[in-house]
Amino acid sequence: QVQLAESGGDSVQAGGSLRLSCAASGVTFSSICMAWFRQAPGKEREGVGAINKPGIILYADFVKGRFTISRDNAKNTLYLQMNSLKPEDTGMYYCAARDSWYCGQLRAAEFAYWGQGTQVTVSS
C-alpha cells in the first residue's frame, strides 16, 4: 500500500522560507516520478514541480528560482525547499507519485497517489 505523508507546513511572513518533506512507503521510491502540487482556497490544484527517476527536475514558472525540489532515495523522502515566499504561495501543499518514472506535464490527473497535504500560510 502506497503511503505519502507530508510535513513542514507552517505560517510565515512574506520573504520567509519553509522546507516541506514527504515520506513515502509502499513504492519503489527511486524509480518513479514524485511531485509537489498546491491548492489555494477556491482554486484548482496546480503543479509546483517534479523529479523523475533520472533526477531531472521540472518546475512551474511561478516558482522558478525560489523553490527547490530534491529527493533522498535512502530515506524515501521528497523535499521542497521554499524561499522568498509570497502571500500568493499560500495553500495546501501535496506530495504525489506516479506509477512511472516519467513526470509528463505535471497534470494532477496523471498522479495516482497523494498525501493528505500540509498547510502553508504566507502573510504580508
What is the residue-level pLDDT of the chain in tens, covering all 124 positions? Answer: 899 999 999 999 999 999 999 999 998 878 899 999 999 989 999 999 999 988 888 999 998 899 999 999 899 999 999 999 999 999 999 999 998 989 988 999 999 999 999 999 999 9
- Which of 47, 26, 45 minimizes the C-alpha distance to 36? 47
What is the predicted pLDDT for the residue at 31? Answer: 87
- Which residues, 6+ apart, have CB-to-CB distance to 93 below 8 Å? 6, 9, 20, 36, 37, 38, 48, 80, 117, 118, 119, 120
What is the predicted pLDDT for the residue at 56? Answer: 87
DSSP state of 16: -
Q: Give CA–CA dist 8/14, Å, rounded.
A: 17
